[in-house]
Structure 1
Amino acid sequence: MNISISQRTDTMSAAIVTGPGTLRIETLPLPQPDRGQVRIRLEGCGVCASNLVPWSGPEWMQFPTEPGALGHEGWGVIDAVGEDVQGFAPGDRVAALSYHAYATHDIADQSAIAPLPTALAGQPFPGEPLGCAFNIFRRSGITPGETVAIVGIGFLGILLTELASAAGARVIAISRRPSSLAAAKQAGAGAAIAMDDHWRIIEEVKQLTDGRLCDCVMEAVGKQWPLDLAGELTKERGRLVVAGYHQDGPRQVNMQLWNWRGLDVINAHERDPAVYMRGINEAIEATAAGRISPSRLYTHRFALEELAAALDMTRDRPEDFIKALVICDE
C-alpha cells in the first residue's frame, strides 16, 4: 500500500480503519472549527489498548471508520479557533480530549483542551491516559501505610504504581512480563510478582502481608482472570478497583467471595468530560513539577502511516514495550 502524508496547508491526513486489522491514510480538506471549538495541528497521539477490540473487527464494529476515529490521546498546537473561544489562541500548545486524533489535525471543544506549560516544551503529552491515571488514583482512596496490589503493569499500571508509592503506600506489582516488573520497581513498587500461577500468586501475597492480603487492589488488565485474581487478593472490607477496560464481552464475578469479604468494588471509569479534564490538568501539573515522569514510558514511536504496526504492537506487547505513540510532527 503506497501512502503518504500531505504537506499542503489546506488539507489534512487521517487514518481510516477499513476492516479488521486494515487501514488506509486519506488526504482530506481541513476541518473548520465551529463556535466554541479549536482546530489542533496534532504533534501526535497515544495508542490506547481500548482500540484493540475495534481493530480486531468484532460483529458490532462498523467499517470504514470516520477519519481519525479511535484516536483520543492527542496533543499539539492550535492553528485555528472558532467564534467565542476564550483564553486560547493559535500557537497555543495543548493536550486535547478529542476523538479523531489518528490524523494530522483534529477539532476539539474549548472545554476539552488543556494548555501545556513551557516546562513541557518538546515533550509528548497524551493527556487522556495520563488523566485517567489521576482519576483512578483519586477514586482508589489510597492512604499512607496501606498495602496496594496492582494487577497488570502496563502504562497505566506503572503510573498507578508511581502515584501510590508517592502517597506512602506499599505497592505489590503483578505482571506477566519481566520488563514490566522491572519498570514497576523503578516506579517505586516494594515487591514484584510474576503473573503466572493463580494460587501461587495468592500465597506469595499472603506471605508478603502476613496473611492479611491487600487494603486496595487495582485491576488494570481488562480480562477475566486478572479480575478474578484481584478479588482474591483483596482483604475483608478492602477496596477492589476496576481500572481495566472490559470491552470484549461479559464478565463473571465470584460474588460469594466479594459478598463474604464485604469488598468495596469501585468502577474507576469516568464518563463526564469535566472529570476527564480535571485529571488531565492534574497530570500536566504533576509532570511539569517533576512529580511523575511519563516520558520514559513512551517506548515506541510510529509515523501516522505506520499506525497499523503501532496497533499490532500494542496488541502483542513484546518485552520492553510500554506505550506506543503516533508522531505527526516533530
Structure 2
Amino acid sequence: MQACVIAGPQQALLQDASRPEPGPGQVLLQLEGSGVCASSLPVWEGRSWFEYPQPPGAPGHEGWGRIAAVGAGVERLAPGDRVAALSFRAHAEYDLAQADAVVPLPAALAGKALPGEPLGCAVNIFRRSDIRAGHAVAIVGLGFLGCLLTQLAVHAGARVIAISRRGFSLDFARRCGAQELVPMDDHQRVIERVKALTGGRWCERVIEATGLEGPLQLASELAAVRGRLVIAGYHQDGMRQVNVQLWNWRGLDVVNAHERDPRVYVEGMRMAVDLMAAGVLDPEPLYTHRLPLDRLGEALELTRTRPDGFMKALVVA
C-alpha cells in the first residue's frame, strides 16, 4: 500500500509500506479518506519530544472507508461494510482498527465524507455542555468544531451568540443557525456587546473553542452567575492564566470537555452518525479543502495557517 510518512518537521512523503493484516478483534480498513486534525500540528511543526520518521499513516485518526478484511472473533462486521473508525494511522490507503472502535454507516450517508472522530468529539462536547432550550449560548471560536456545536445548540433550542475574529467564520456560523454574530475585534467591546444582547444576564453556557489564552479569558467574562464554562479548545502548548476569582465569584461550573476514554469517543461517533442521518448535523459545507493523499503536507499547512475560507481539510483516496 501507499502511506504518508512525516519524515521530519514539515516533511510529509508518500511512500510504499506493508499493508497490515488484522489480528484477533481487528478489522482492516480500505480508506476513502481521513480528516486532518489540529492536534497533529505539534508533530508536523517538530516539537522536541517527537521522533522521526513517524510510522506510516500516523498520526491520522479521522478515517473512514470500507472493511477489507476482519480478524478472528469479529462479529457483526463484514468485508464491504462502509464505516467510520477511530484508528491511528489513517493517512494511508489501509489502516487497522479495533472492531469495537468501528461505526457502521447507514445507506443514507452513502458518498458522504465521514471523519468520525471530530464529529464524535463535537457531540461529546455538546453533551457535556448540557445546553437546553432557551439558553443563551456564546461560542467563542467558529472553526469546524464551533460550527458543529452551533448546529447542535440551535437544534436544542438555544440562542447562539457566535464570536470569532474571522469574518468568513461568522458567515459560516450564520449558515449553521447562529442568531447573533459578534466580531472578536476588541476584548471589551465583545463583553459590552454580549451584555447588551443578554440584557445584562450574560450566557448560561459559554463554549471556548480556540485553544488560545485570550479567548479563554474572554469566555470567562461572558458566563452568567451559576453558568457553565466549557473548555473545548486544544490547550496543549503551554500554561494558561485564568481568572479563578471571577469563576469563584460567579459560581461557574468549569468543564474540560475533552474525552480520553476511547469508548466515549466511539459512542459520540455513533451519535454523530445518527444525527447526520436525521439531518440535524451537516458537516459537508465545512469541508472546505479536499486534497489527495500525496498532498498531506499541504493539508497540514492549511490547518496550521488557517487562511481565509479555511474550515477543515480532508485527504482523500
Tell me the TM-score normalised to structure 2 length: 0.98
User: Which residue of structure 2 aligns with residue 43 of structure 1?
Assistant: 32
State the 1:53 CA deviation: 2.1
- 1:174 corresponds to 2:163: yes
Distance 2:194 2:75 in 1: 52
User: Which residue of structure 2 aligns with residue 296 of structure 1?
Assistant: 285
Report the AA paired with residue 120 of structure 2: G
Once the two structures are superposed, what CA deviation does each residue of 1:13-61 show, in whole Å capped at 9, x if it has no partner?
1111122111212101110000000000000000111111221111222
SS at match of 2:6: strand
- 1:246 corresponds to 2:235: yes
Give runs of ≥4 in structure 1 deviating > 3 Å.
none
- 5 Å-filtered alignment, 1:157-306, equals 157-306=146-295
Distance 2:242 2:55 in 1: 36
State the 1:77 CA deviation: 0.5
SS at match of 1:29: coil
Distance 2:70 2:117 in 1: 22
Conserved 8 A contact 1:53-1:247: no
Gaps of 5+ in 2: none
State the 1:270 CA deviation: 0.5
State the 1:221 CA deviation: 0.7
Report the AA paired with residue 20 of structure 1: P
Report the AA paired with residue 106 of structure 2: P
- 1:117 corresponds to 2:106: yes
User: Which residue of structure 2 aligns with residue 309 of structure 1?
Assistant: 298
- 5 Å-filtered alignment, 1:51-200, equals 51-200=40-189
Report the AA paired with residue 125 of structure 1: L
State the 1:202 CA deviation: 0.5
Percent of aligned pairs with the same residue? 59
State the 1:316 CA deviation: 1.2
Distance 1:86 1:225 in 2: 48
Distance 2:215 2:6 in 1: 30
Conserved 8 A contact 1:161-1:189: yes
Once the two structures are superposed, what CA deviation does each residue of 1:179-216 show, in whole Å capped at 9, x if it has no partner?
11011111111111111211111111111111111111
Distance 1:314 1:136 in 2: 21
Distance 2:157 2:31 in 1: 37
Report the AA paired with residue 53 of structure 1: P
After superposition, the CA RMSD in angstroms is 0.8
Conserved 8 A contact 1:165-1:188: yes
State the 1:108 CA deviation: 0.2
Conserved 8 A contact 2:34-2:62: yes
Conserved 8 A contact 2:151-2:280: no
- More displaced stretch, 33-42 vs 290-299: 290-299
State the 1:247 CA deviation: 1.1
Conserved 8 A contact 1:158-1:187: yes
Gaps of 5+ in 1: 1-11
Once the two structures are superposed, what CA deviation does each residue of 1:207-239 show, in whole Å capped at 9, x if it has no partner?
111111111100001111111111111111110
